[in-house]
Amino acid sequence: MKEVTASAPGKLMLFGDHAVVYGHPCIVTAVDQRITATVRKNGVDIFHLDAPDMGLSAYSRTLADLGKKGTPKAVCFIEHLYKRFLEKHPQQEGIVVTTRSDFSSQFGFGSSSAVTVAFAKALTTLYGVELTNHELFTLCYQAVIDVQGIGSGFDIAAAIWGGTLYYVAPAKTVNPLGGERFELPLAVGYTGIKADTPTLVRMVETQYQAEPERVGSIFADIHQIVDDAQQAIVAQDWQKVGQLMTKNQELLQQLNVSGVQLDELIQASVESGSYGAKLSGAGGGDCMIAVAEPDRQKIESALEAAGGQVMHVKLHAEGVRIES
């Protein structure tokens, strides 16, 4: 086998934002915007990457220098994962990696996790290393921890398993919700602002350390909302799902992770008839989600009128797969 191409989906957090970092469950869904990674052997001891969608072209390093200081942010996860792979499966020759993305990293769809998973799947397949989903998760998650030191891995899980998941970090629980043809009637609005996820995560951590009882109580309430939302989603009770989204959003506002643009889009969707809405992810910017019932067109028009960009994505998408 000379070359393998794999693709993995992006994600949207539905419930449990921030609390998932501290051992609480979340619900995440895969989106049909995918990142593709092609891997081939190159016959020399060089790792070469072309990732124009990530702002990186003709990047190369010797195998001996993998993971050392000076690695560009865009390639950190991939490079550390490759280094870990070589520690278990030593190779004399390197690889050429080419990536292509359906979506921009600015939207908050988890592009770094999607490309890491797509690369890991292509790499392991190229060398005939068969991994279960959980083993693939561990390989990818370890690379993230190598780079960031912290992370819940929910976006990695979404990229691997696909669909809609009830998830507890780090993949202690991965429960798929809904069947293959399951549909989530959600509208997605982009604020136009790129969220600074690491800063927001650290901000919540600082709050938790300063006020453990207050923040711990918020996390406990979010935990209950996630459990209730799991049942409501399976029952396809979208009115209940919307009510729970609104409750989850109120708790996230207490953590000060929302933002003016997010709040405006959320308010616009609810005022146009949506059963409920909330931010999706770390907050500060990126996307919000709203139950697109009873009138999707009216809700999406309201989002645009409020300055949002409606993202026409399909949810509950297929997980990582081999393309060729």
Q: pLDDT tens digits, residue range 30-72?
A: 999 999 999 999 999 999 999 988 888 889 999 999 988 888 8
110 or 20: which leads in pLDDT: 20
The SS3 of residue 162 is strand
Does residue 146 have an active-site annotation?
A: no
Residues 158 and 226 in one domain: no
The SS3 of residue 188 is strand
> What CATH number corresponds to the domain at position 208?
3.30.70.890
- State which H helix or E strand residue 81 sits in: helix 76-88
Residues 246 and 146 in one domain: no
Residues 234 and 163 in one domain: no
Contact indicator for 89, 127 with CB cutoff of 8 Å: yes
- From 12, 256, 260, select the one nearest 114 (Cα to Cα): 12
Residues 243 and 161 in one domain: no
Mean pLDDT across the chain, nearest whole number? 95
Neighbours of 21 (CB within 10 A): 21
Residues 172 and 190 in one domain: no
β-bridge partners, 239: none
- Percent of the chain with pLDDT strictly greater than 90: 86
Residue 77 CB burial class (10 angstroms; 0-12, 13-18, ≥19): buried
Q: What is the residue type of 8?
A: A
**What is the per-residue pLDDT across 145-159, written as a single tens digit (0 to 9) for each?**
999 888 899 999 999
In this prediction, residue 110 has a pLDDT band, given cuts at 50, 70 and 90, of confident
Residues 221 and 122 in one domain: no
**What is the per-residue pLDDT across 230-264, written as a single tens digit (0 to 9) for each?**
999 999 999 999 999 999 999 999 999 999 999 99
Does this model's pTM top 0.85? My answer is: yes
Residues 32 and 169 in one domain: yes
Number of domains in the chain: 2
What whole-number distance in Å separates Cα of residue 81 and Cα of residue 313? Answer: 29
Residue 109 DSSP symbol = S
The pLDDT, as a whole number, for residue 106 is 64
Catalytic residue among 53, 155, 227, 263: 155
Residues 176 and 191 in one domain: no
Residues 37 and 150 in one domain: yes
> What CATH number corresponds to the domain at position 45?
3.30.230.10
- Locate 115 and state its tokens: 């490309």
Give the domain range for residue 76.
3-180+316-322
Residues 39 and 162 in one domain: yes
